[in-house]
Amino acid sequence: MKEEPIGRGPHKRRVFACVDRGSKVFGFDRRRSPVLLHRRTVSAEEERLLDESPTLEDYADDVLAVLDARAVEIWSP
């Protein structure tokens, strides 16, 4: 059986990338090129709420503490 390089193969057709705070959704075609599947315009109110919402950085220390307490080894490049 031929091994596919990372980033190739039929599995990539089941990968979706949600970007721009979820307002755009991309899939991939048979040539591994991104294809826009969905786009929506965010309202001013939604934008305001997203700006005020917590980010990953707000929770990073708490998440790391839980992982450390469970003796999960954390790898960082």
Arithmetic mean of pLDDT over the chain: 81
Rounded Cα gap, residues 15 and 37, in angstroms? 12
- Provide the domain limits for residue 40: 10-69
Rounded Cα gap, residues 9 and 52, in angstroms? 40
State the amino acid at position 72 in one-letter form.
V
Q: pLDDT at position 7, please?
A: 56
Rounded Cα gap, residues 60 and 67, in angstroms? 11
What pTM was computed for the model?
A: 0.54
Residue 47 forms part of a structural domain: yes
What is the arithmetic mean of pLDDT over 39-58?
A: 90
What is the arithmetic mean of pLDDT over 44-71?
A: 87
Residue 43 forms part of a structural domain: yes
Rounded Cα gap, residues 41 and 44, in angstroms? 9
Domain count for the chain: 1
Residue 50 forms part of a structural domain: yes
Residue 2 forms part of a structural domain: no
What is the arithmetic mean of pLDDT over 55-65?
A: 84
